[in-house]
Structure 1
Amino acid sequence: VRLEPDGLIFCGRADDQVKVGGRRIELGEVDTALMALPGVSGCATAVRASATGTPLLVGYLVSSDPEFDLAAARAELDRRLPAALVPRLVLVDELPTRTSGKVDRDALPWPVGPESGADGLSGGGVFGGDPESTLGWLAGLWRDVLGAAIDDEQADFFTLGGGSLQAAQLVAALEQRYPQT
């Protein structure tokens, strides 16, 4: 906040508190949980937007373990954090830094592709078939809402970062495509 001749000017937050899905989240709290995961040597949490503009919490992990298990990491986070604080997990080789040495959250990659090892997501997905089929069309909606294509037919929408608002977007699109008579 700064005082101008016209009054107070609110400049925004200077800390790492963000709002996702109507909840205030301290990125540092999520970062602390990520760093406590076995095999993690670096991490950063950031908010990214899906193609539909939905904010998504994404946790970027650095690990030298070539067998790092994102599913096990996610399960551990599910035990440690409230559901709203569990981010989508993405493996990266390194974290970009600013000249100050702090992580440059704005430079973290987005959208993520299949090479990232994102949990249950990829750049192509197994549904790459006919987008006019119901399955292909629905997979495209998931991609738009969740920020990346789904690579597993058994993927859980909520585990992959979907919430009630995103589910409502899907229902509205389904009702538009398949109206009730």
Structure 2
Amino acid sequence: MSTAGVAYQVLDGRAAVGKAEDMLALAHEVDAGAGEELDRQFRVWCRQPGFVLAEARHGGFLVGYGCGTPLRPSTSWWRGLTTPLPAEFTTEHQGRTFALTQLLVRAAWRRQGIATELYRLVMVGRPEERGTLTVPPGAAAAQSAFRAWGWHKVARTQGEDPESAVLDVLVTSLPVSLPGS
């Protein structure tokens, strides 16, 4: 399978919310642990000023998407850290941090550069000072890609529910540049 015929489109929150069913179906397919909280959170992200979503489709079939939103001063992003970070690191102001909230590709379409292109469409040219994201510690391919793109781990986080997943919190300086670009 090649990426020939894959069409990319960048959407704002208003357009993305109209495609939420497609996006969430893919998120649940890729991550069986994604629950109702993700469904609620996705709709919240779409309403945030500055939200952006890039989608990849082949013949109208959704094969992947990436999305994110600027963090607001009132964000809960830094709550739940397993080891606290200094307040000067976690205090947000407008224009400080862009959160890459999702980047996923259907299993059959991976390792074809689709995630890289989605990442580029969402992240390149962001005006914020830094980016942040969370990724499971055991997601070796994702961890490797983000390291290659200049991200580094600063902490781990876990939701309030003791059964919630532990995730690595990564950051990078913006603007991003991809190898070879």
- Which structure's CA Rg is the greater one? 1
Relative to its length, the structure with more strand (as a share) is: 2
Fold match (TM-score > 0.5): no
TM-score, L = length of structure 2: 0.31
